[in-house]
């Protein structure tokens, strides 16, 4: 008993077209059925978690440094740059010697941590604590005034760390200024 099998190129193409058509129809049917559910349930909104604060040597949470943004920058003809940075709590007026490596001009759209003599912080991934004294150890310090450092809150290179002396701090309400 012999079986006559048509294995011509044209017959293979016809079978492939039929198979392809069946696959396309199946995919479209499954896609249509999956898109027509009767009622969609909203995804659960996860609670916004507060970032875990670093701990000090005794296991107590460290206070996050104050965050400020640049508001104004001025230079004078004596080599002094004066910047005003602030937030909803008030404004700092800071100055630096323009010849110093860390006399940085903060960018208005960036957030900066304020480091004063009481600030102690541990950045993610670091093994030690950052303090104003530590920052002064590799940059400049101004012995005739209270020193303040500004560090980008999103991180940055060492040339993005600014060291200044404090001229003034004002707790004026921002909305009440004229």
DSSP 92: E
Choose between 166 and 21: higher pLDDT: 166
Q: How confident is the model at residue 12 (pLDDT cuts 50, 70, 90)?
A: very low
In angstroms, the CA 110 to CA 15 distance is: 64
Contact, 44 vs 55, CB < 8 A? no
Per DSSP, 159 falls in state: G
pLDDT reading at 69 higher than 60: yes
Sign of CA dihedral 76, 143, 93, 172: negative
pTM score, whole prediction? 0.65
pLDDT tens, residue by residue, 16-45: 444 444 433 443 444 444 444 444 444 554
Q: Residue with structure tokens 């957030």?
A: 111
pLDDT-derived band at 126, boundaries 50, 70, 90: confident
22: number of Cβ within 10 Å: 10
């Amino acid at each position: 008993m012999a079986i006559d099998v048509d294995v011509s190129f044209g017959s293979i193409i016809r079978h492939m077209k039929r198979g392809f058509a069946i696959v396309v129809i199946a995919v479209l049917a499954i896609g249509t059925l999956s898109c027509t559910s009767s009622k969609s349930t909203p995804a659960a909104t996860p609670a916004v978690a507060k970032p875990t604060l670093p701990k000090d040597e005794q296991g107590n949470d460290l206070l996050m440094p104050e965050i400020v943004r640049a508001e104004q920058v001025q230079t004078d003809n004596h080599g002094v740059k004066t910047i005003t940075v602030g937030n909803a709590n008030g404004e700092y007026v800071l100055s630096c010697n323009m010849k110093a490596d860390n006399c940085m001009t903060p960018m208005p759209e960036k957030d900066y941590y304020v480091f004063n003599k009481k600030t102690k912080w541990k950045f993610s991934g670091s093994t030690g604590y950052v303090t104003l004294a530590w920052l002064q150890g590799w940059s400049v310090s101004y012995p005739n005034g209270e020193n303040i450092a500004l560090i980008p809150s999103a991180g940055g290179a060492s040339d993005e760390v600014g060291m200044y002396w404090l001229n003034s701090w004002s707790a004026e309400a921002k909305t009440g200024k004229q």
